[in-house]
Structures are given as structure tokens and as C-alpha cells.
Structure 1
Amino acid sequence: MAKTRSMHIVVGSACLLLAQAFTPLLSAAAELIDLSGKAAAFVTLRSRDNFSSEYRYDVTVRNNSADLFIADSLIIVLDRITNIGGQDRENLTGESLLNRMEIIGQDGTTEDGRPFFRVPQGSGPDLTPNSESLPVTVRIRNRDYVAVFTPSFRVMGQKREAPKQKSPAAAAAAAAAPNKATTDKLIQLLIKKGLITPQEAQSLSQP
């Protein structure tokens, strides 16, 4: 009895640790925005293992907009899989073809149950306009040995907000600050040399 209770505690603790490990990934994906229309995923088939019916793809993200996207926020979501006829569900059962595939090495799952992969960060902090990311390796195992299928991805991430422009008044004040400091030093030098009195210096310091 005690042994059974100990096993329950171990299993429960393991489940809790797994939940804590995957929660940040789920919450991170939930905070991202859909970049469809601004960023596109390009899919290249790299290899195919006929024995295990496993397909290996390289997927890159291209920034087609004028915005900057934060590089380490980008993910690709495996949105659907279509057959040779362009359908994403089985004819007889209506089941999603995506559910019939085994996705290997995914980084997490979105709130609607779709697998996602993190895009590797390049040399810079952002994916700049008209640039392309490093490739993500995606492995899909076809349980039903369908002859031809096509994976489709959408891109999610965060846009880099442009720095706020200073108001004209703030810009003028910032430019005037060094000039005032220089003037004050000159006045102190004139007082020290006895060329002007402190009263005269006070009148000079007033705007």
C-alpha cells in the first residue's frame, strides 16, 4: 500500500514538472500575433525515408513587410496538411489529415492544438525587411503512407515597435542644455578674473 502511494506521488510530481516545463511555451505562443500577409514561410523538402514514411523539410521565414520582427519571438505553426487534391480532411471520416501525421521534434502546441517550431535567431536581433531567416528543420511521419501531401505553415511573432519621437520642446531643451552649461562656465571664469561682479553675472544668467 505504501509502495503504491509512493508511486502515485512520483507520477504526480513528474506530471507537475512536465506541465511547468510546457506552460511557458504555451503562454509565449499565446502572446504572439499572426504575421500572415507580412511574413511568409517557404517550405523545401530535403529528404524522404520510404521505409518509415518520414519526410524532412527546411522551412524559412521571409519578411515581406517594412516592419522589423523580433527574431527570437518568431515561430512557425503547422496549420494544416493537404493531399494531392488540395483537401485537408479524409473523405470518409472527415478527420483532419494533420491529426493522422506524427510531428517529430516540435517545440510546443498552440491553444488550438497545432504544433509549432521556433525559428532560429540569426546574427541580428531582428528579422529585417526583405530578409530571410535561418531554416527550421521539420520532420513529419506519415502514418497512413499517403503518396503525396503538402504541409502549410503560418508565421507568428512580435513586431519591433519604433522608438518614440521626441517632441519639439523636448528636443529644443536637450539642445539648449549643453549651451547653458558652457555659458555658466564662462560667467564663472569672468567672475574669478574680476571682470564682472556677481550681480552682473546673475543678470547674465537669466533667460
Structure 2
Amino acid sequence: MQRKRSLFTWLVGAVLCAGAIGFSTDSPASPLDQLTDLTGKVTVIVTLTGRDNFTSEYRYDVSVRNMTADPLIADTLLIVLDKITNLAGEDHEALTNESFLNRFDILGQDGETDERKPFFHIPPGSPADLLPQTNSRAASVRIRNRDYVAVFTPAFKVYGNKRPPPEPKQPTAQQAQPAAAQRHTDKQAERLLQLLLKKGVITEEEWRKANQP
């Protein structure tokens, strides 16, 4: 019994120690969690820039054209290599149902999604926003074909955030102050004219002329 108690005490201490040093089994958040799926709202422009027949490596420039009516925050844009299709438009092996994407080496990627799909950041340009009907800078994508298949097509998804519209400006206290000061001055002038009229310093005709707008 004493041995069981000692073991239990050791286990409790180990758990508390792990918590004290910040041990956690939580997986890191996906970079896509804070981004919006813009696929279908933008156009992906894929340009083959080079091919190495010896290594069967293909190099692409991939850029994004903003087809929305809103500016996109350029440094949030990233592209995900979603699938690779053959001439028939299929993205899985017919017999094994294996994704063709698994049969390619993707070089120079910036990371992977939770589904183990490679992604690349679109390089931010100037200005900081990708305006409507404009193209982004190009990300460099390198794909090496293990099977030496002659023809294949990469397909990309796009994620990013729109620039929120500016908040309407509210009148400040400094803007409202001149109007209030003018009303105060008008009331003081009216009281002064009434006092001068009462003391006979000015006539009623002069008082009426002074009060005309």
C-alpha cells in the first residue's frame, strides 16, 4: 500500500512539473485559421518558367489577380498547392486512390496545411494592398516529378484577408466648439443690445437693424 501511495505521489508531481514548464500537447494553429478562402474570387496566374529534364523539375511563377471590388492585404496572401491533375483531369490514382500530389516533391515551400498540402506566401509588393483588377508579385514554386510523367497540371487555392473599410469619422470636440462659441457670442450680443435699448443708449430702430440677419 505504501508503495502504491508513493507511485501515485510521484505521478501527481510529474504532471504538476510538466504543467509548470509549459508542456502542452496542443498542436500549433494552422496559418490558414485567420485567413479567408479567396478561391473563386481571385484569378491564379500560373506561368511555367523553367524545366530540368535531368531531374524532372518544373519551375513556376504563381501570382494572384484581385477580381473582387475590395483591396486585399498583400502580406496575408498565400497559395496552397491543392492538387495535381493528369491529362484526364483526375487528381487520384484510379487503382489505389492515391493522390497524385503524394507522388511529387515540392521544393522551397513555406509550410504545410493540416492536410499536408504545401503552401507558399505571395511576396508583398508596393503598395501594401492588392487593389481590384491588379496582379500580385509572383511566388516561385518548384515541383519535381518522381514518376517522370510528361504532362501534369498544378491547381492552387488562395487564402488572404480583405482590407476592412475605414470607419466613418466622428465630429471631434474641436470641430463642434466653434459653432457653440458662436451661439454663445450671439446671445451675449443680444443681451447687450437689450441693455443699451433699455438705458436709452440706442433707439428701437437701431436695435431692429442690429438684430437683422
Give me the TM-score of the superposition, normalised by structure 1.
Answer: 0.71
- Cα-to-partner distance string for 1:143-180 (whole Å, 9 max, x where unaligned): 011110000001100111102224xxx44866423444
Map 1:160-199 to 2 at 5 A.
160-166=163-169, 170-171=170-171, 175-180=175-180
Q: AA paired with 1:99?
A: N
Q: AA paired with 2:176?
A: A
Q: Which residue of 2 aligns with 1:79?
A: 82
**Structure 1: any 5+ residue segments left out of the alignment?**
1-21, 191-195, 197-207
Structure 2 CA distance, aligned partners of 1:182 and 1:104?
A: 70
- Cα-to-partner distance string for 1:77-109 (whole Å, 9 max, x where unaligned): 001000111110112221100011000000011
Q: Which residue of 2 aligns with 1:203?
A: none
CA RMSD across the alignment: 2.7
2:37 to 29, 34, 40: 34
Structure 2 CA distance, aligned partners of 1:181 and 1:101?
A: 74
Q: AA paired with 2:57?
A: E
Higher helix share: 1
Q: AA paired with 1:117?
A: F
Q: CA contact under 8 A between 1:65 and 1:129: conserved in structure 2?
A: yes
Q: 1:181 to 1:100 in 2, by over 3 A?
A: farther
Structure 1 CA distance, aligned partners of 2:71 and 2:171?
A: 26
Aligned length: 164
3-state DSSP of counterpart to 2:30? helix
Structure 2 CA distance, aligned partners of 1:114 and 1:182?
A: 66
Structure 2 CA distance, aligned partners of 1:183 and 1:63?
A: 51
Larger radius of gyration: 2
Q: AA paired with 2:32?
A: A
Q: Which residue of 1 aligns with 2:73?
A: 70
Q: CA contact under 8 A between 1:30 and 1:111: conserved in structure 2?
A: no
Q: CA contact under 8 A between 1:34 and 1:155: conserved in structure 2?
A: yes
Structure 1 CA distance, aligned partners of 2:102 and 2:43?
A: 23
Q: Which residue of 2 aligns with 1:117?
A: 120
Q: CA contact under 8 A between 2:79 and 2:122: conserved in structure 1?
A: yes
1:91 to 82, 91, 94: 94
Q: Which residue of 1 aligns with 2:131?
A: 128
Deviation at 1:29, TM superposition (A): 2.3
Q: Which residue of 2 aligns with 1:205?
A: none
Q: 1:92 to 1:171 in 2, by over 3 A?
A: same
Give me the TM-score of the superposition, normalised by structure 2.
Answer: 0.69
Please say which of residues 29-38 and 132-141 is displaced more in the overlay: 29-38
Q: 1:178 to 1:132 in 2, by over 3 A?
A: farther
3-state DSSP of counterpart to 2:177? helix
Deviation at 1:113, TM superposition (A): 1.6
2:148 to 145, 148, 167: 145
Q: 1:145 to 1:123 in 2, by over 3 A?
A: same
Percent sequence identity is 54
1:48 to 43, 47, 51: 51
